[in-house]
Amino acid sequence: MKKFWLSRWTRALLFLLCLIPFLDLIWRFEHNQLTANPIEVITHRTGDWALRFLLITLAITPLRAILNQPQLIRFRRMTGLYAFFYGCLHLTTWAWLDKGLDFSEMWQDVIKRRFITMGMFTLLTMLPLAVTSTAGWIRRLGYRRWQLLHRAIYISALAGVIHYYWGVKSDIRLPVLYGCILALLLAYRFTIAMQWRAQSELSAQARR
């Protein structure tokens, strides 16, 4: 299994898999299959995938421990960057196709509609994570500081769920489901952190 995760082919395959939602949108656009309201479909699909990739990125750490597959960590940067990629497509769809790049209308939306404000906030919190995702930035910041900064992904995911929840008109089932998944991931993280703390306190006591 280790060989499979480390293979360049697996990486390429996963890269292509993550690209499918984007290729699917292009194919549907080319074949006039985006319903009577293509802008709405593109906005919804890109927003959905941005949030899904954020949650997938957060799920990698627990999955590698549960499945005992530490090599899975290799894909965390890729899924995180895909979340940012779909988030940028989502923003571009709204700004360009929906608002026609009318900056004053966009600004009015940002300050008057709380769900748009939250969407902007979500993408802004993802920006430093995408920029500092390279090995060069890990070196520059030092691993501890880099790790601390990248915990902000929980804030991005929470803001993304709130943005979705505030944006839906009636059926809140999906944003609530995403919220529950995020709560589970946070609970897992919290439990592990507590276990680490208890362990290091025990070993400190043993050393005394």
Q: Site residues (CB under 6 A) for ligand HEM? A: 40, 43-44, 47-48, 50-51, 54, 87, 90-91, 94, 116, 119-120, 122-123, 160, 163-164, 167
Give min distance, CB of 110 to ligand HEM, in A: 7
Residue partners of 84: CB distance under 8 A and separation at least 6: 50, 126, 127, 129, 130
**Least CB distance from residue 164 to ligand HEM, whole Å?**
4
Nearer to ligand HEM, 21 or 47 (CB): 47
Whether the Cβ atoms of residue 115 and residue 43 lie closer than 8 Å to each other: no
CB of 166 to ligand HEM, least distance (A): 9
Q: Which is nearer to ligand HEM, 21 or 87 (CB)?
A: 87
User: Distance between CA atoms of 141 and 134, rounded to whole angstroms?
Assistant: 11
Nearer to ligand HEM, 19 or 65 (CB): 19
How far apart CA 166 and CA 176 sit, in angstroms, is 11
Residue pair 48/75 in contact (Cβ under 8 Å)? The answer is: no
Output the smallest distance, CB 167 to ligand HEM, in A. Answer: 4
Q: How far is the CB of 17 from ligand HEM (least distance, A)?
A: 19
Who contacts 151 (Cβ-Cβ below 8 Å, separation ≥6)? none
How far is residue 185's CA from residue 200's CA, in Å, rounded to a whole number? 23
The nearer residue to ligand HEM, 75 or 94, going by C-beta atoms, is: 94
Rounded Cα–Cα distance for residues 93 and 71 (Å):
35
> DSSP letter string over 122-140?
HHHHHHHHHHTTSHHHHHH
